[in-house]
Structure 1
Amino acid sequence: MLSTLLSLSSLLVYPLSLCLMLGFLGMLVWRLGLRRTGATTVFGALLWLYVCSTASFSYLLIGKLEENYPSQPLSEIPRADAIVLLGGALRGDSAMGILPDLNQYADRLVHAVALYKAGKADYILLTGGSAPGARSEARLMQDVLAVMGVPPSALILEEESKNTHDNALNSAAILKQRDMQRILLVSSAFHMRRADALFKRQGLDVIPAPTDYQQVIIASTLPAGIPGVKNLSRTTEALHEFVGYEVYRMRGWL
């Protein structure tokens, strides 16, 4: 019950869902005769949605998550027993394509392969489950990494995980069975704070190997105050991480 309530409450901080909820509440209050309160509520909801849709605010939030996990040249990254690649870089099997469809976090796949080809570990553990009736994320990542030149003998699959906590728990069990302790953990930089803590909680020697940095160098052609869908998505992702970390902490997973 607690986990369900925490998951539902986390949706309330997402800008779009919160704006819709407050907008509906404001109109209801307006209909009840409290027009100033209703108008203020609707205005506040739209203002928050606008702020969350700007580049300056989205980069501010995502930057707070990324700043403690700077990138390193491959030459400076130490060797490990295995590279652990978290899921989240694929949308799934496409209706008409041959390979799984990649999403905006596909840098994770590229970085894991780069580490492997640089000789930083002999194995890559792919961790990620699936919805009923679908192929697991681990299996989908295996298909993509095969095209990128990683041999099947170097891949270890963990196909039962539903979230990052499961990734850590299930991966640790597999790694310990193989007497592997030191890992290079590959995920998006904004996600690394939570992932790093979860895998360390399992007693593993974790070397963060962040990638997929969201702050780009090339300036936008639009002013920072112009709202955009990508900015809103970036803000939502950052808020998801902040809330997710606190939810996991309240559950005792961190």
Structure 2
Amino acid sequence: MFHIVSKLLSFLLMPLGILMILTFSMIICKNRTKAQLIGFLTLLLTYLFSAPFASNALVKYWETPQKNIHTLANYDVGILLTGGLMNESTQYPNNLNLSNSADRLWQTLYLYKEGKIKNILISGGYVSLIKNMKKTEIHYAKEFLIKNGVPSEQIFSDTKARNTNENAINSSKILNEKFKDGSYLLITSSFHMKRAMACFKKRGNNVSSFSSDFISPFRTIQIIDFIPSSDALLDTSKIFKEIFGLMIYKIMGYA
């Protein structure tokens, strides 16, 4: 039930949901002056949601800063959160096709190769079956790591987590059982790190962060950043989802 309600609330609080609500309000409003004001507000928000300069400012505010891997301390376990790592909807998923959040997977592999993490815990096994596939993203991610030189005995899996809260709960059990009093490095997308860290710390884990999948460009504002873009709207939506997601998690006591 929580999963369904959170998805509904998430949509209503997203830029698209907000714009749809305003548009519907404008249509049913019988007062011409109020309808015009709602229409103006809708246009203004549409521009701000989709303008790169505004979107980038929001993303930079929310993203957890990048760290230099070469000055990073060493950790016993790197905790990799799944979600968009592998593209399983292709004709040949066993080709290990990477997806939009695959930088998490690559950074985890790089951290291991550089000796920054000794073991890898992959958390997040809930994936809908496509074309009667028996494997989940977590299995493909593990296979990717093994094929790139990580010994299978140094890879641990939580295959039951369906959300960030369950990532923290299930991972905590594995860490306390196999790596009690160890040092942990949490690896996820930069825009997702605040919520993930809050959940893990709520469970009493002393974790450090290592962000990946950075959205905001490391450059100054350009003229083109004032022209609306569908990519900017997508980035704004990602941050809105995380901001309200963290708010809901705090209300529910998950973070």
Task: Report the TM-score when normalising by structure 2.
Answer: 0.88
- What amino acid is the match of 1:211? S
C-alpha distance in 2 between matches for 1:118 and 1:3 = 38
1:42 deviates by 2.7
Q: 1:124 aligns to what SS in structure 2?
A: strand
Shift of 1:148: 3.1
Contact 1:94 1:101 in 2 (8 A): no
> Is structure 2 residue 109 aligned with structure 1 residue 113?
yes
> Which one of 35, 49, 68 corresponds to residue 52 of structure 1?
49
Q: Per the alignment, in what secondary structure is the counterpart of residue 104 of structure 1?
A: coil
Instruction: Give the share of equivalent positions with the same residue, in percent.
Output: 29
What secondary structure does 1:123 align onto? strand
Counterpart residue number, 2:209: 208
Is the 8 Å Cα contact of residues 186 and 207 (structure 2) preserved in structure 1?
Answer: yes
Q: Following the alignment from structure 1 to structure 2, what is the Cα–Cα distance between the partners of residues 94 and 235?
A: 26
Q: Does 1:239 align with 2:235?
A: no
Q: Deviations over 1:104-126 (max 9, x none)?
A: 32211111111111112221111
What residue number does 2:85 align with?
Answer: 90
Query: Retained in 2: the 8 A contact 1:137–1:159?
Result: no
| TM-score, scaled to structure 1 | 0.88
Does the Cα contact within 8 Å between 1:55 and 1:227 map onto a contact in 2?
yes
Mapping 1:1-254, distance limit 5 Å: 5=5, 7-29=7-29, 33-66=30-63, 69-90=64-85, 92-97=87-92, 98-133=94-129, 135-180=135-180, 181-217=182-218, 223-254=224-255
Shift of 1:218: 5.9
Unaligned runs of 5+ in 2: none
Rounded to whole Å, the distance in 2 between the matches of 1:49 and 1:99 is: 40
**Alignment check: 8 A CA contact 2:87 2:99 kept:** no
8 Å Cα contact 1:26-1:41 kept in structure 2:
yes
CA distance in 2, matches of 1:210, 1:71: 6
Quote the offset at 1:61 in angstroms.
0.8
* 1:80-107 CA-partner distances (Å, limit 9, x unpaired): 2211001123354123133344333221
Q: Secondary structure of the residue that 2:225 maps to in structure 1? A: coil
Answer whether contact 2:186 2:209 (CA < 8 A) is retained.
Answer: yes
Give the match's secondary structure for 2:228. Answer: coil
CA distance in 1, matches of 2:52, 2:19: 18
How far the C-alpha of 1:166 sits from its partner, in A, is 0.6
In the comparison of the two structures, how many residue pairs are matched?
A: 249
Deviation at 1:187, TM superposition (A): 0.8
Displacement, 1:64? 0.9
SS at match of 1:122: strand
Amino acid at match of 2:49: C
Q: Is residue 61–residue 235 contact of structure 1 (8 Å, CA) maintained in 2?
A: yes
Give the Cα separation in 1 of the matches to 2:224 and 2:207: 40
Gaps of 5+ in 1: none
Question: Mean alpha-carbon deviation: is it higher for 115-124 or for 226-235?
Answer: 115-124
Tell me how far apart the structure 2 counterparts of residues 160 and 110 of structure 1 sit (CA, whole Å). Answer: 23
- Aligned equivalents of 2:190 and 2:129: distance in 1? 31
Q: In the alignment, is the contact (CA less than 8 A) between 1:127 and 1:137 conserved in 2?
A: no
Which SS does the other structure have where 2:185 is aligned? strand
